[in-house]
Chains A and B, each alone.
Chain A
């Protein structure tokens, strides 16, 4: 199975900050990497697919980069509604696997 390692596990930032979350795959997954946002009591929200493509309706303050084994999610101009846990997920092969999440606190 492909292991996904996210860092940091949590971070605290201020409104207006730029935040970067890292995700590392245990083997080459090309660009088959997605990012999700999970807010308490809300439906998961898909942010990024194919490592850097923005999902329809997602604001451009979210961006993704990387390929192979190393990926990043960047959130610009952090706002209170961005309080959430963010997960990366590889879909290069089954079983699909998630990172353990990064909790963003404001």
Chain B
């Protein structure tokens, strides 16, 4: 069945970098728009970034623009989120969601903690 799995979370110091990965199976991942959203303690859901199926269109929240980069590797059916210059405000569970006209699949998230 369709499955989305995020990985790469962990503890990082302020100013550090982390790369999150989103892998999918059970459906044609390359035909789906992929977005990252995050859930910070007490702050609800926040959209972070989105990439089109072809990988040509990318959009970012203002809060991460210039620091985060979304990309996709079609050969590996993965989407990455490279996060630089991390701050404590980036501490959250990061979820990856794959969307097209037929379905919207989500993973269980990966926890990113920015702390010294």
Residues of A bordering B, CB below 8 Å: 1, 36, 38, 41-46, 49, 55-56, 85, 87, 89, 94-101
Contacts and interface: CB of A to CB of B under 8 A. Distances in A.
Contacts of B62: 1, 95
A44 B47 contact: no
B47 A96 contact: yes
Contacts, number: 52
B83 interface: no
Contacts of A44: 37, 45, 95, 97, 106
B107 interface: yes
B103 A56 contact: yes
Interface of B: 4, 35, 37, 39, 44-47, 50, 59-62, 95, 97, 99, 102-104, 106-109
Contacts of B59: 94-95
Nearest to B43: A100
B35 A96 contact: yes
B44 A43 contact: no
A46 B47 contact: no
Contacts of B95: 43-44
A17 to B, nearest CB: 24
A56 B35 CA distance: 19
Given A43-B107, A44-B97, A38 B45 contact: yes
B47 A98 contact: yes
B39 A43 contact: no
B47 A49 contact: no
B90 to A, nearest CB: 16
Contacts of A99: 44
B104 A43 contact: no
Contact of B106 (A43, A87, A95): A43
Contacts of B61: 95
